[in-house]
Amino acid sequence: MNVDATIQKGKEIIRIEAEAIAALESHINGNFAASVDLIFNAKGRVVLTGMGKSGIIARKIAATMNSTGTPSAFMHPSDAVHGDLGMVTPDDVVICISKSGDTMELRQLLPRFHQLGVKVIAMVGNLNSPLSKQSDFVLDTSVKEEACPYDLAPTSSTTAALAMGDALAITLLQKRNFTKEDFAQFHPGGNLGKQLLLKVDAMMITGSNIPLVNENVSVSEAIAEISSKQLGATCVINNAGILCGMLTDGDLRRLLQRRIDISNLTTGQVMTQNPKAISQNMLAAQALEVMESYKITQLVVVDTDHHPVGILHLHSLVEAGLRGDSPA
């Protein structure tokens, strides 16, 4: 097989599986809606089971459901008949995945599910199969052809089952009004969790470490404050303690470039007035967006009376793993 033939074969496989997914849309019917309602109203978990490649798909669907607000678990059929069936309760819903609908291990389990009073959803490629006939609801994941030329390796069929599982999970997500903040609660360790959970108050510099001067002090005193706190800037307040300005290393460089004598000037005369300020309840990712938008590296954090309570530096956000593109 030469390069052109290899490329063509790859494209053909993608086309076959894409067509299988497209055809799946016509299989979404009343059984799908009933399955969603059944899972939504269940007091227990969704238990997914399947043998071989179907089992791998079941694991992935369980993971997707868990991360989108539907508690789920995978149960291996072989382990189930040797004790793991004890994990299933009458409050659960079972989803059995099988291309043939005649998987021996699943057929062994069906009577046990019925004895427990557990509702069963079959996700199958054969609507006339034993599994289809003995389940409460049937989701049709049949495909016209596998991408495997010998129709042996599950390819299109497993892709279809995976897509049907995604359809269930995301429809349930919307039915539950599951928000991106809810999603982040289950992903606290990754960048997504940081984007949606990490707030400014957890990242800002506070207390005596805040660079802070009165507007009436000399510029030399402000420079000393900037140098001692090592943040490249200082907040400037008026006599009432309200933020009125910001003086940065950049401001000082621009003054020197203009050959302005700053020896007799007060900080209030050279500061940047009305600097950008944020609330400590703002998401850190949103604060990063503000910095990127205005091309600044520090943000003053103020309370409701506009008193400085902290300062946030770009380096702290970058070190925390934030990289912009925060949620709106």
Token match 């030469």: residue? 2
Residues 41 and 160 in one domain: yes
* Among 136, 133, 115, CA closest to 37: 136
Q: Would you tell me how many other CB atoms lie within 10 Å of the CB of residue 15?
A: 11
Query: Domain check: are 205 and 294 in the same one?
Result: yes
Q: What is the pLDDT of residue 39?
A: 97
Residue 107 within a domain: yes
Residues 81 and 167 placed together within one structural domain of the fold: yes
In a domain, 185, yes or no: no
Low-confidence ranges of the chain (pLDDT < 50): 325-328
Residues 24 and 162 in one domain: yes
Whole-structure pTM value: 0.67
Domain of residue 109 covers: 3-178
Amino acid found at 216: N
* Nearest by Cα to 225 from 238, 210, 244: 210
Domain boundary among 178, 208, 232: 178
Q: What is the dihedral of CA 64, 66, 69, 70, to 10 degrees?
A: 100
* CATH number assigned to the domain comprising residue 102: 3.40.50.10490
Q: What's the structural domain count of the chain? A: 2
Q: What share of the chain is helix, strand, coil (3-state, %, to 5)?
A: 50, 15, 35
138's tokens = 């049937």
pLDDT given at position 189: 57
In a domain, 70, yes or no: yes
43 and 134 both lie in a single domain: yes
116 and 216 belong to one structural domain: no
Does residue 299 lie in a domain region? yes
- CATH number, domain of 283, equals 3.10.580.10
Residue 327 lies in a domain: no
Q: Is residue 189 part of a domain?
A: no
20 plus 82 within the same structural domain = yes
Q: Same domain, yes or no, for 168 and 217?
A: no
> What pLDDT is stored for residue 328 in this prediction?
34
Same domain, 174 and 243: no
Residues 223-281: tens digit of each pLDDT? 999 999 999 999 999 999 999 999 999 888 888 888 778 888 899 999 999 999 999 88
Mark whether 250 and 161 lie in a shared domain. no
Question: Where is the domain boundary, 128, 146, 178?
Answer: 178
Spell out the residues 6+ positions from residue 109 whose beta carbon is closer than 8 angstroms to its own: 49, 77, 80, 81, 85, 96
Quick check: is 96 in a domain? yes
Retrieve residue 62's tokens.
């369980």
**Same-domain status, 106 and 237:** no
Q: Which of 112, 160, 110, 158 is nearest to 136 (CA)?
A: 110
Enumerate residues 6+ apart whose C-beta is below 8 A from 211. Answer: 225, 226, 228, 229, 231, 233, 234, 235, 311
Q: Which of 178, 209, 226 represents a domain boundary (last residue)?
A: 178
Query: Are 174 and 216 contained in the same domain?
Result: no
Per the domain annotation, does 324 fall within a domain?
A: no
